[in-house]
């Protein structure tokens, strides 16, 4: 049977083969080479400064910063919770600002400085925020914790720079480290274990020290 379309010259068979190939490509995990020769041409070169070290990648331009960190650079501290900007588990800092790494593409950060939980401190020399989370039991399962800590560090820097929040009544008041402020500013980081009281205690201690209070 002749399946040629007399109007546009395409055959029904050719359309079906092309569609099937598209479905296969769309269902492959990002970063997986379906056809190495063709994919190589589509890869983008990006250099990120990760925790002070330059790291170069040839990467599918659709790969998020979170997947680049976890799947390509094996930095699994930043966690994938929702993968669409609702939980904060993937929070890292880019050029000193906290961001949800699941909501941005790695190729958008060529040349940027990325700080992950691995770069904040290590077990022998904890960052003050990491030490405060340990001291105050600011975690239970720990899944949200890397994001909470990175977010808290970035958030305190925002406060020091005088950035108001939705609950700031008087932007002239310094410091702005009330629990109400801390809770509002950390509201993008969800803890399914509901460890919020301890998380706030930990952040309050670091914030207080930074503001010159005695802990
Ligand atoms: S994994 Fe990025 S916000 Fe939830
Ligand atoms: S400690 Fe379990 S989700 Fe926060």
Dist. CA 39 → ligand 1 center (Å): 27
Residue 138 domain-assigned (yes or no): yes
Taking the centre of ligand 1 as the mean of its atom positions, its distance from the CA of residue 66, in whole angstroms, is 9
Spatial distance between the Cα atoms of 174 and 23, rounded to a whole number of angstroms: 56
What's the structural domain count of the chain? Answer: 1
**Pocket lining for ligand 2, CB < 6 angstroms:** 139-145, 191-193, 195
Q: Which ligand is nearest to the CA of 137?
A: 2
Average pLDDT of 83-90?
98
Quote the domain boundaries for residue 89. Answer: 44-207
Ligand nearest to the CA of 191: 2
Report if residue 189 sits inside a domain: yes
**Residue 190 Cα: closest atom of ligand 1:** 4
Q: What's this model's pTM, rounded to 2 decimal places?
A: 0.80
Q: How far is the CA of 189 from the centre of ligand 2 (A)?
A: 10
pLDDT at res. 208: 85
Q: Is 102 in the pocket of ligand 1 (CB under 6 A)?
A: yes
What's the CA gap between 115 and 94, in Å, rounded?
6
User: In this structure, is residue 31 part of a structural domain?
Assistant: no
Q: Does residue 19 register a pLDDT over 60?
A: no
Which CATH number does the domain housing residue 119 bear? 1.10.150.120
CA angle 62, 67, 68 (to 5 degrees): 80
* Per-residue pLDDT tens digits for 144-201: 999 999 999 999 999 888 898 988 888 777 767 888 999 999 999 999 999 999 999 9
């Amino acid at each position: 049977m002749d399946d040629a379309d007399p109007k546009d010259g395409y055959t029904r068979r050719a359309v079906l083969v092309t569609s099937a190939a598209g479905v296969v490509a769309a269902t492959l995990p990002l970063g997986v080479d379906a056809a190495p020769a063709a994919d190589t041409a589509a890869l983008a070169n990006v250099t990120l400064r990760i925790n002070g070290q330059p790291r170069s990648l040839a990467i599918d331009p659709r790969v998020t910063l979170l997947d680049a960190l976890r799947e390509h650079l094996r930095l699994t501290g930043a966690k994938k919770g929702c993968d669409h900007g609702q939980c904060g588990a993937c929070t890292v800092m880019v050029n000193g600002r906290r961001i949800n790494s699941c909501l941005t593409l790695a190729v958008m950060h060529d040349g940027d400085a990325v700080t992950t939980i691995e770069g904040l401190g290590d077990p022998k020399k904890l960052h003050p925020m990491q030490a405060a989370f340990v001291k105050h039991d600011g975690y239970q399962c720990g899944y949200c914790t890397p994001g909470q800590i990175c977010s808290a560090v970035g958030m305190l820097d925002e406060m020091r720079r005088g950035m108001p929040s939705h609950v700031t009544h008087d932007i002239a008041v310094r410091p702005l480290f009330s629990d109400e402020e801390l809770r509002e500013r950390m509201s993008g980081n969800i803890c399914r274990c509901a460890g919020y009281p301890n998380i706030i205690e930990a952040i309050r201690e670091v914030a207080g020290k930074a503001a010159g209070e005695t802990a």
